[in-house]
């Protein structure tokens, strides 16, 4: 058992038992080290892990905001894990896009099935309004687009799926942006995307689950096909080739 794990278990147990709650603070690193009979560096390693997991937020200084404060931020760790594993090429981008498709169509169906008030739809609505600005660059447009899709998936009321969706979008962002030049006519595409967004939102507002899900699916598929990205039919794998590709023994040594 490595020493820093003592801290992780301690914190998890305290959380589960209610001794630690959101907004609460961890004891100081020195205190924690003494309590657990380990050194401060070990404690620090654990705190770093907790920070990376989105469980604490550290800040220097004094006062209630300083120290290691318990938070609940599942999105950043998910995003980080996703990005790192995409970088290893053992996580095919096609799988990520496929997952996004699944989560989003489900979210749209679920959101449409709920009875949503105008207030809940307002955020998404405003995003669409901002996307009508013709002066937006593809990057700005796509950022708003991502926000809209994330907001939509949040309307289904499942915080886990919403968190995963947010991470997926972040991971995909650079990928899809790099494919914009593949589009035959960006302006025409943007017009199409705008109207599709409006239609999706209308279906959600109107309480048409199946229709909303279909629109979302077509919307996403359509864009990826137009940008000549990920084939959805096959299961193209980036991992397998990378593995065969192992010849180079050019390690730093």
Partner DNA sequence: CTACCGGTGTGGTCGGACCACAGGATAGGG
Partner DNA sequence: CCCTATCCTGTGGTCCGACCACACCGGTAG
Residues that bind a copy of itself (CB under 8 A): 4, 12, 15-16, 21-25, 27, 41, 44-46, 48-50, 52-55, 70, 72, 74, 77-78, 80-81, 83-85, 87-92, 95-96, 98-99, 102-103, 106, 114, 157-161, 164, 235, 239, 242-243, 246, 251-252
**Residue placing its CB nearer to DNA in the complex, 36 or 96:** 36
Q: Which helix (H) or strand (E) holds 68?
A: strand 67-70
**Residue placing its CB nearer to a copy of itself in the complex, 188 or 239:** 239
Give the per-residue SS3 of 147-159.
Answer: HHHHHHHHCCCCH
Long-range contacts of 220-223 (CB under 8 A, 24+ apart): 220/100, 220/101, 220/104, 221/101, 222/192, 222/196, 223/176, 223/189, 223/193
Site string for DNA, 48-87 (x = CB under 7 A): ----------xxxxxxxxxxx-------------------
Rounded to a whole number of angstroms, the minimum distance from the CB of residue 250 to DNA is: 17
Of 30-38, 160-168, 199-207, 232-240: span binding DNA (CB under 7 A): 30-38
Are the C-beta atoms of 228 and 179 separated by less than 8 Å? Answer: yes
**Residue placing its CB nearer to a copy of itself in the complex, 21 or 122:** 21
Are the C-beta atoms of 236 and 93 separated by less than 8 Å? Answer: no
**Residue placing its CB nearer to DNA in the complex, 42 or 79:** 42
**Residue placing its CB nearer to DNA in the complex, 28 or 238:** 28
- The helix/strand/coil state of 37 is coil
**Residue placing its CB nearer to a copy of itself in the complex, 107 or 189:** 107
User: How many angstroms separate the CA atoms of 176 and 107, rounded?
Assistant: 21
Rounded to a whole number of angstroms, the minimum distance from the CB of residue 54 to DNA is: 15
**Residue 30 in contact with DNA, rule: CB under 7 A:** yes
List the interface residues with DNA, window 129-158 (CB under 7 A).
none
Q: Is 197 exposed, middle or buried (0-12, 13-18, 19+ CB in 10 A)?
A: buried
Q: What's the maximum distance between 2 C-alpha atoms anywhere in the chain?
A: 65
User: How many angstroms separate the CA atoms of 84 and 141, rounded?
Assistant: 26
Of 42-50, 150-158, 207-215, 222-230: span binding DNA (CB under 7 A): 42-50
Task: Please report where in the chains the tokens 């192992």 appear, as a residue.
Answer: 246
- The residue ranges that bind DNA (CB under 7 A) are 2-4, 26, 28-31, 33, 37-42, 44-45, 47, 58-68
């Amino acid at each position: 058992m490595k020493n820093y794990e003592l801290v992780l278990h301690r914190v998890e147990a305290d959380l589960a038992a209610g001794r630690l709650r959101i907004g609460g603070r961890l004891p100081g690193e020195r205190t924690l080290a003494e309590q657990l009979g380990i050194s401060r560096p070990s404690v620090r390693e654990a705190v770093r892990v907790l920070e990376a997991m989105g469980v604490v937020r550290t800040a220097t200084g004094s006062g209630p905001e300083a120290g290691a404060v318990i938070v609940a931020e599942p999105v950043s760790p998910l995003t980080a894990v996703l990005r790192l594993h995409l970088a290893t090429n053992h996580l095919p981008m096609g799988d990520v896009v496929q997952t996004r498709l699944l989560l989003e169509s489900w979210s749209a169906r679920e959101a449409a099935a709920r009875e949503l008030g105008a207030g809940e739809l307002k955020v998404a609505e405003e995003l669409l309004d901002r996307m009508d600005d013709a002066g937006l660059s593809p990057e700005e447009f796509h950022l708003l687009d991502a926000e809209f899709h994330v907001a939509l998936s949040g309307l289904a009321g499942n915080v886990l799926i919403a968190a995963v969706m947010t991470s997926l979008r972040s991971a995909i962002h650079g990928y899809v942006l790099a494919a914009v030049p593949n589009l035959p006519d960006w302006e025409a595409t943007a017009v199409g995307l705008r109207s599709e967004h409006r239609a999706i939102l209308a279906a959600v507002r109107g309480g048409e689950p199946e229709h909303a899900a279909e629109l979302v699916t077509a919307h996403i598929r359509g864009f990826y096909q137009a940008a000549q990205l990920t084939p959805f039919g096959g299961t193209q794998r980036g991992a397998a080739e990378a593995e065969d590709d192992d010849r180079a023994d050019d390690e730093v040594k």
